[in-house]
Amino acid sequence: MPKMTFIAPDGNRHEVEAPEGLSVLEIAHRNKLELEGACEGSLACSTCHIVVAPEWFAKLAEATEDEEDMLDLAFGLTSTSRLGCQVIMSKALDGLVVTLPAATRNMMVDKK
């Protein structure tokens, strides 16, 4: 089974099994890693923002315009930022490394 590594904001590395067909967001949740996903993968927020290791970024399918629009709202955006809900695991991504940002910007929170 493919594997991937999450690097937490504190620098700790978590290598986990990454079943093909699941999103990075789903893989994080299965492994109880802190990746919010407030909109549950419906491309309505940027809380599953991840930073892909540069050597892996070109191996990903291109981001859609909708994903790019949501990424514009992400905290700490980088040139290799993606939304975890949009990166789908495959054999070609076996060994993928992503960093979890130190914070998120949740626009979905009800501000009363």
- DSSP letter at 89 equals -
Q: How far is CA 78 from CA 49, 52, 75, 85, 100, in A?
A: 10, 9, 9, 17, 12
pLDDT for res 98: 98
Whole-structure pTM value: 0.90
Integer Cα distance of 13 and 68 in angstroms: 27
Average pLDDT, the chain: 92
Which parts of the chain sit beneath pLDDT 50?
Answer: 108-112
Condensed to tens digits (0 to 9), the pLDDT of residues 38-65 reads 999 999 999 999 999 999 999 999 999 9
pLDDT for res 104: 65
Give me the domains of the chain, ranges plus CATH numbers: 3-99 (3.10.20.30)
Please choose, from the candidates 106, 86, 97, the residue with its C-alpha nearest in 3D space to the C-alpha of residue 11: 97
Residue 99 — φ and ψ, nearest 5°? -110, 140
